[in-house]
Structure 1
Amino acid sequence: MQTRKGSTGTRERYSDILLALGVVQSREALGLSLILAKYNKDPKEKNKAIEGIAGIGMKQAPKLVGKAAGRQMANCIVLLAKMAVEEYSRTADDPKSRCRCRGRGKVADLAASRAAGTTIEKICPRCDGTGLKPATSAAVYKVIKALVPDLTQRTWTRNWKVFYDSLITQCYQESTAAEKLFSQLTSPQQ
């Protein structure tokens, strides 16, 4: 019975990756949940990520947000966390999130194409090459306004939107920390 060359190394590499995932899950659980929610579209991981971001949001919520929300504070934080994770999880493979460039990040430059006689592409000016529609906080404002009817546009812009943007930034920071730890664990030792 013959074994294939390199199969032992593949098995070792596979076990190293599983070990690294276990370590990342124990140390950077929120970041790993965010990554799995974004790329695997896993609903359980998405719920874990929402809970984690909501917990961070409860600790970091500005006083003016709490004052405006009153008894609806917990519901508002959970909704903001849910929408922040949704915003973080947007990818160009979802047709609802795609820009006019159909998620490619490039469009035809008509003037340059006419001059050159061939198709010339340029970076999409609407999405700046990301392939995603530009995000707006208008939908988030409407949802929070339903819970807190006294919320004005001015208060939203000065206090709530800044807090919502910080939750989105927190999502990116947590996932970056998890990616960094995973790459440190799986990179070859020098």
Structure 2
Amino acid sequence: MNLESAIKFHSPKSPNYTATTPATASEVLTGTDVMAAMGMAQSRAEMGYSAFLGKMGLSKHDSVRAITLLTQHALQTCDRVAALRKLGIDSKPAVMQVLATYAYLDYCRSAASVKSCECCSGVGFIDADVFTMKSPLAGGIKRNVREVVRVRCKSCEGRGVVSASCNDCSGRGRALDRKQTETQGVPVMGDCKRCSGRGYERIPSTEAHRATCNVTEGISLDTWKKSIKPFYDSLITKLEIEEAWANRSLAKVTS
């Protein structure tokens, strides 16, 4: 059993709590076996198991726990980066928490993710200036009157959120390779160059940098790009590695 198949046991739709589909044959794993397997997998790979459950939206507690564990990992390894090693005792834990939080948000991102619209700040409507021709009630010369009205935001079409899916491939991860198509004369599909085949746009690392600037002024943009961004990317990779380890642990326990 892998992590994806374990999701159904966290919110069962029926009292039939078993690891396999209903059949006339006897079950290999009982509900107790599944619960014990999940507990063992979580004890072996706590960060990866919590991160996965949080990514799937099953538990807010697991999301917080994954960020906490990633923050601890960042504190243990951040001294390898000179710019982070020079941070003060008070600011270093706060900076690590910011980096861990944004790394986790990027790890959870998918083509189905949505983000708040920057144009309308998530409201769905914006204020716009409208000029109309009006005349006094008793007659007279018409004049232009400036009014401020609320109109629907064009960026999000009034929803207040925009999709994180790639605009070129619409979240599929594959797009038309125009150069190969012109060469071969038939449509040729390939990995989307804009999203590198992920199907969604990653959170810009500059957003994490701006968040760290609210904690400390000791990290410039040049320092971020040269030394801290690779460390930030390693935190995202750490979550992916831990998830893979949790998946292998669960599969080994239930094999």
| TM-score (norm: length of structure 2) | 0.63
- Give the structure 2 partner of residue 56 of structure 1: 73
Distance of 2:228 and 2:56 partners within structure 1: 28
Any idea what SS the aligned residue of 1:61 has?
helix
CA RMSD of aligned residues (A): 2.5
Structure 1 residue 145 displacement after superposition = 1.7
Q: Structure 1 residues 167, 122: closer, same or farther in 2, change over 3 A?
A: closer
Aligned partners of 1:69 and 1:148 also within 8 Å:
no
Any idea what SS the aligned residue of 1:122 has?
strand
Distance of 2:252 and 2:65 partners within structure 1: 24
Task: Count the aligned residue pairs.
Answer: 181
Distance of 1:60 and 1:159 partners within structure 2: 14
State the one-letter code of the partner of 1:137: S
- Give the structure 2 partner of residue 89 of structure 1: 108
- Give the structure 1 partner of residue 166 of structure 2: 99
Distance of 2:244 and 2:206 partners within structure 1: 27
- Give the structure 1 partner of residue 3 of structure 2: none
Gapped regions of structure 1 (runs ≥ 5):
none
State the one-letter code of the partner of 1:57: A
- Give the structure 2 partner of residue 151 of structure 1: 219
| Structure with a larger share of its residues in strand | 2
Equivalent residue in structure 2 for 1:77, among 93, 96, 106: 96
Identity across matched positions, percent: 25
Structure 1 residue 42 displacement after superposition = 2.9
Deviations along 1:19-77, one digit per CA (max 9) or x if unpaired, are 21110122211110011112235321110001110111111112531413552111111
- Give the structure 2 partner of residue 178 of structure 1: 246
Q: Structure 1 residues 153, 17: closer, same or farther in 2, change over 3 A?
A: same
Distance of 1:108 and 1:163 partners within structure 2: 34
Point out the more displaced range, 136-145 or 159-168. Answer: 159-168
Corresponding position: 1:42 with 2:62: no
- Give the structure 2 partner of residue 129 of structure 1: 197
- Give the structure 1 partner of residue 84 of structure 2: 65
Distance of 2:34 and 2:199 partners within structure 1: 30
Distance of 2:46 and 2:195 partners within structure 1: 31
- Give the structure 2 partner of residue 25 of structure 1: 42
Gapped regions of structure 2 (runs ≥ 5):
1-22, 115-162
Distance of 2:104 and 2:24 partners within structure 1: 44
Q: Structure 1 residues 103, 69: closer, same or farther in 2, change over 3 A?
A: farther
Structure 1 residue 133 displacement after superposition = 1.1
